[in-house]
Amino acid sequence: MSKSIVEKITEVFQPQAPLWGVEFTARHIILAGLSQNRRRIATKQADPLQPGALAGSLTERNIQNLDAVRSVLTEMLNHIGFKGAEIVVVVPDDAARIAFLTAEKLSKDPQEQQTFIRWKLKKNVPFDIDAAQLAFRVLGPHPTGAGVDLLVALSPRSVIEEYETIFDSLNIHAGLVLPSTLAALNLFNAPPSDSLFLKIATDCMTTTIFQNRRIQFYRRVANVSVYDAVYPTMMYYQDKLGGKTLEQLTICGYDSDLRSSVDELELKLGLRAQRLEPKSIDDIFKPVLGSVHLSNSEGLV
């Protein structure tokens, strides 16, 4: 069985990840491969999908047109000369739920840890959590000193199997499966000061707050403006996290069509938006490059 959405999210940041990655979005399939030392992009390609062929979801089928998706994927793999038997799969953020938990005392037994997490989240997800694929990361002691904070990623097993099955049919192992924002964050170096990471995709936007280089909050929304996506996050940052002033705003995934919206956000936050590194590479490739641990911000084909 693959380590779908990773057995623990910390494994996403370790060098044993495959050298090849693929991201599925509502509009594209995006492929990338790295050199052995992960400091150079060996190849990258993004091809469009038919409208409606794929849509991230926790409760519905993601791959609506299997033949169309597999056809595009197969042609891309052949064109770029894919070699190997394993690949990282990046799925839409809509296909995973990210949550934060605090455990008063966390067991050292992995099975007991998962049992606790499933029990805590049982009433908070729109799917059968007992059959869900689950991964977590221990963030550290709770700020009050009472308990341990956890970052949890989970998705219905049936959703993950949709993506794995495509690669099984091509004799390729989906070695890691993870949501797009977590993949992109592998390229983000959080500063010691408070910061906001905004990821804009076709079907949704995610906002992530970091304090003292530690992820503290994540929110996913759809069908809203850039500012409307950020505003509730800012309220939570100030009211619940005790935040005073953001020192950094980093954005991944916007183009010229959103320039006016980003200008408005910069004005209201009093911050100049920074692009996610490496700036020399189009944002469309960054989640998949993060998933395979591109280590050189200047790496190019």
Rounded Cα gap, residues 210 and 94, in angstroms: 21
Rounded Cα gap, residues 35 and 301, in angstroms: 10
Q: Is the pLDDT of residue 301 over 90?
A: no
Q: Is the pLDDT of residue 5 over 60?
A: no
pLDDT in tens, 153-211: 999 999 999 999 999 999 999 989 999 999 999 999 999 999 999 999 988 999 999 99
pLDDT on residue 175: 87
DSSP string for the chain: --EET-SBGGGGGSTTS-SEEEEE-SSEEEEEEE-TTSSSEEEEEEEE--TTSB---SSS-SBS-HHHHHHHHHHHHHHHT--SSEEEEEE-GGG-EEEEEEESS--S-HHHHHHHHHHHHTTSSSS-GGGEEEEEEEEEE-TTSSSEEEEEEEEEHHHHHHHHHHHHTTT-EEEEEEEHHHHHGGG----SS-EEEEEE-SS-EEEEEEETTEEEEEEEE-SS-HHHHHHHHHHHHHHTS------EEEEES--GGGHHHHHHHHHHHT---EEPSPTTS-GGGHHHHHHTT---TT---
pLDDT on residue 9: 46
* pLDDT: which is higher, 78 or 13: 78
Rounded Cα gap, residues 78 and 151, in angstroms: 37
Tokens of 5: 């959405």
* Ramachandran assignment for 84, one of left (phi > 0), alpha (psi -120 to 50 degrees), beta (any other): left
Torsion of CA 271, 211, 15, 114, to 10 degrees: -130
Tell me which of 5-9, 85-89, 123-127, 172-176 is least confident.
5-9
pLDDT on residue 93: 97
Q: Is the pLDDT of residue 297 over 70?
A: no
pLDDT on residue 17: 83
pLDDT on residue 299: 47
Rounded Cα gap, residues 56 and 26, in angstroms: 7
Q: All domains of the chain, ordered by start, with CATH?
A: 3-94+157-183 (3.30.420.40), 96-153 (3.30.1490), 189-275 (3.30.420.40)
Average pLDDT over residues 258-263: 89
pLDDT on residue 256: 64
pLDDT on residue 143: 81
Average pLDDT over residues 203-231: 95
pLDDT on residue 84: 86
Average pLDDT over residues 252-265: 85
Tell me which of 87-91, 271-275, 294-298 is least confident.
294-298
pLDDT on residue 178: 94
In the numeric block, the tokens 């929110």 are attached to 219
Which residues lie below 8 Å from residue 156, measured CB to CB, with a gap of 6+? 58, 59, 127, 128, 131, 132, 133
Residue 57's pLDDT band (boundaries 50, 70, 90)? very high
pLDDT on residue 146: 86
Q: Is the pLDDT of residue 295 over 60?
A: yes
Averaged pLDDT of the chain: 91
Q: Is the pLDDT of residue 13 over 80?
A: no
Tell me which of 35-39, 40-44, 226-230, 252-256 is least confident.
252-256
Average pLDDT over residues 32-46: 94
